[in-house]
């Protein structure tokens, strides 16, 4: 059969718009504001408060390395599509760069730059010896077969073989990727390097050197951050209610673990549907329903169907956006009724919404703190791979919880000390560590 060549980059913005519109029943992702500009706005604010040296600020305002590759893949119908693949290494000031790989239609350089910078700050806040990076491929994994995704992942890995490395740059899962993709990366990378190198990625299946507790780690961190936030804000844990947006890796584990911690989950959602039940959603039934229903909630009978916009404005103690970026913006921030927002997703709140939420007295536990549980256990996985000795799930959970509580306390302390929000307090916590590292290493 003749090979048809068509570029997946054609009409990139058009496709991104369509994808955003079809993915986004809450209308959140449709205007693609510069995410990296939002990172810089917060960085500048924190830098001013903490009197960061201008040299260090200049270093952190730019990514160290940005790679864009065209990845040709033979599709099942015999045609060839060329996908846009990205990897941005934002900083290696504290150690090798670390960050997930995202498969989504709205992936572009701006988004990957922002996500990479957040990884730098996240690792500094969690006090783990990594810098920050992020990768992504503009594709719609829901519309691709397993074979196409395997070829795409392996071709992208080969294209990035000089970038990735166990002491250089270590990917992990993010939106649209999971342990299956990580296993493919191990395979392709090991073949290129001619030796087995499982430590090049984290979030692997257990049999390939994955860590106990990694899959649930980000959701677990969201749960611990929510409990800590309840303590400092005086919310009664026994009567607490929560609404969770997103039912993928982060949202589903956050829902399950908060439910186990006896927090009443009154609303859940994914890109197909949202459900509300003031009496509490049976989270275990929802998990089973999604598992039997192609991973989505559409058709679930355990609550009244509402929209994703309504979920965000429910009167709850904890709102946990765990799906996509920019769902809380200047447009709806005034309508948010939660006491606490725990950001499981990266960038769910726009920079303009920050001020509105702060004025309303809503405590926002920012993404770079709240979803740091994933990279923390990724670090444990990397340590275990090098050590050749593996910890139990309980050991991993204990280390992770202690680490999240310490990080939360540091951020809370800095927010109080500098009379600012937890988000800026988190940036301050990161900047203090990064400034030391950059200065110790010096410049050419
Ligand atoms: P995932 O692909 O496993 O799940 C995403 C979920 O969001 C799905 O349930 C999907 O249906 C839902 N969703 C998509 N569009 C939506 C919309 N418009 N409205 C409501 N729901 C929508 O992804 P994930 O790994 O759970 O990642 C979610 C977020 O958490 C991302 O921002 C990611 O960067 C961040 N994050 C993930 C990890 C991790 O370890 N996986 C770590 C840190 C941060």
Q: Across residues 212-218, what is the average pLDDT?
A: 96
Angstrom CA distances, 251 to 46, 146, 181, 410, stand at 29, 23, 20, 25
Clarify whether 134 is annotated catalytic.
yes
**Do 157 and 259 belong together in one domain?**
no
Q: What atom of ligand 1 comes closest to residue 344's alpha carbon?
A: 30
Tell me: the pLDDT tens digits for 273-319? 999 999 999 999 999 999 999 999 999 999 999 999 999 999 999 99
pLDDT at 374: 96
The percentage of the chain sitting over the pLDDT mark of 70, rounded to a whole number, equals: 93
> What distance in angstroms lies between residue 323's CA and the mean position of ligand 1's atoms?
4
423 touches ligand 1 (CB under 6 Å): no
Q: Across residues 182-207, what is the average pLDDT?
A: 97
Which one of the listed residues 45, 122, 134, 204 is annotated catalytic? 134
The percentage of the chain sitting over the pLDDT mark of 90, rounded to a whole number, equals: 91
Tell me: the pLDDT tens digits for 359-383? 999 999 999 999 999 999 999 999 9
CATH code of the domain containing 59: 3.40.50.10860
Range of the domain at 293: 217-370
> What distance in angstroms lies between residue 80's CA and the mean position of ligand 1's atoms?
29
- Any bridge partners for residue 104, and if so which? 138
**Do 151 and 231 belong together in one domain?**
no
- Residues in CB range of 411: below 8 A, 6 or more apart: 125, 366, 369, 422, 425, 426, 429
Higher pLDDT, 361 or 351: 361
Q: What atom of ligand 1 comes closest to residue 203's alpha carbon?
A: 40
From 7-11, 88-92, 99-103, 179-183, the region with the lowest mean pLDDT:
7-11
> What distance in angstroms lies between residue 166's CA and the mean position of ligand 1's atoms?
26
Please check the confidence at residue 30 and state whether its pLDDT lies above 90. Answer: no
Q: What proportions of the chain, in percent to the nearest 5, are helix, strand and coil?
A: 50, 15, 35
Please say which residue of 201, 235, 269 terminates a domain.
201
pLDDT at 33: 60
Higher pLDDT, 243 or 13: 243
Domains: count for the chain? 2
Tell me: the pLDDT tens digits for 395-439? 999 999 999 999 999 999 999 999 999 999 999 999 999 999 999
**Do 170 and 233 belong together in one domain?**
no
**Do 248 and 344 belong together in one domain?**
yes
Q: In this structure, is residue 211 part of a structural domain?
A: no
| 3-class DSSP assignment, residue 295 | coil
Please say which residue of 201, 226, 250 terminates a domain.
201
Angle of helix 179-193 relative to helix 146-159, nearest 10 degrees?
40
Please check the confidence at residue 25 and state whether its pLDDT lies above 70. Answer: no
- pTM score, whole prediction: 0.91
Strands 169-173 and 131-138, bridge-based pairing: unpaired
**Do 185 and 231 belong together in one domain?**
no
What confidence category does residue 346 fall into, taking pLDDT thresholds of 50, 70 and 90?
Answer: very high
Q: Across residues 139-158, what is the average pLDDT?
A: 98
Please check the confidence at residue 11 and state whether its pLDDT lies above 70. Answer: no
To the nearest whole number, what is the mean pLDDT of the chain? 93
pLDDT at 34: 86
CATH code of the domain containing 335: 3.40.50.720
Contact predicate 134/91, CB 8 Å: no
Please say which residue of 142, 166, 201 terminates a domain.
201
- Residues in CB range of 49: below 8 A, 6 or more apart: 418, 420, 424, 428
């Amino acid at each position: 059969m003749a090979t048809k060549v068509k570029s997946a980059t054609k009409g990139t913005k058009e496709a991104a718009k369509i994808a955003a519109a079809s993915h986004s029943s809450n209308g959140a992702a449709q205007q693609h504001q510069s995410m990296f500009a939002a990172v810089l706005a917060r960085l500048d604010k924190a830098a001013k408060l903490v009197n960061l040296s201008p040299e260090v600020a200049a270093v952190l305002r730019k990514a160290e390395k940005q790679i864009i590759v065209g990845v040709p893949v033979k599709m099942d119908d015999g045609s060839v599509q060329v996908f846009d693949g990205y990897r941005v290494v934002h900083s290696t000031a504290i150690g090798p760069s670390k960050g997930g790989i995202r498969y989504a239609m709205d992936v572009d350089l701006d988004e990957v730059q922002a996500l990479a910078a957040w990884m730098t700050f996240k690792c500094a806040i969690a006090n783990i010896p990594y810098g920050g990076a992020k990768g992504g491929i503009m594709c719609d994994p829901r519309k691709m077969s397993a074979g196409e995704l395997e070829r795409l992942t392996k071709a992208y890995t080969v294209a990035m073989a000089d970038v990735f490395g166990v002491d250089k740059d270590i990917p992990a899962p993010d939106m649209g990727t999971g342990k299956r993709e990580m296993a493919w990366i191990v395979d392709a990378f090991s073949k290129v390097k001619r030796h087995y190198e499982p430590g090049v990625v984290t979030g692997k299946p257990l049999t390939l050197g994955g860590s106990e507790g990694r899959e649930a780690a980000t959701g677990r961190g969201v749960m611990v951050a929510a409990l800590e936030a309840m303590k400092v804000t005086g919310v009664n844990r026994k009567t607490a209610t929560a609404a969770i947006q997103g039912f993928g890796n982060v949202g589903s584990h956050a829902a399950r673990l908060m439910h186990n911690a006896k927090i009443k989950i009154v609303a859940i959602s994914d890109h197909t549907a949202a459900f509300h039940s003031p009496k509490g959603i049976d989270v275990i039934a929802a998990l089973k329903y999604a598992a039997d229903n192609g991973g989505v909630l559409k058709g679930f009978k355990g609550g009244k169907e509402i929209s994703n916009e309504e979920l965000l404005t429910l009167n709850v103690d904890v709102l946990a956006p765990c799906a996509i970026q920019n769902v809380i913006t200047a447009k709806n921030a005034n309508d948010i009724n939660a006491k606490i927002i725990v950001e499981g997703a990266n960038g769910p709140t726009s920079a303009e919404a920050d001020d509105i939420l702060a004025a309303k007295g809503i405590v926002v536990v920012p993404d770079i703190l709240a979803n740091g549980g994933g990279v923390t256990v990724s670090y444990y996985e990397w340590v275990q791979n090098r050590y050749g000795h593996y910890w139990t799930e309980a050991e991993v959970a204990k280390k992770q919880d202690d680490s999240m509580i310490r990080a939360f306390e540091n951020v809370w302390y800095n927010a109080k000390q500098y009379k600012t929000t937890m988000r800026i307090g988190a940036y301050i916590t990161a900047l203090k560590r990064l400034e030391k590292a950059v200065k110790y290493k010096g410049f050419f």
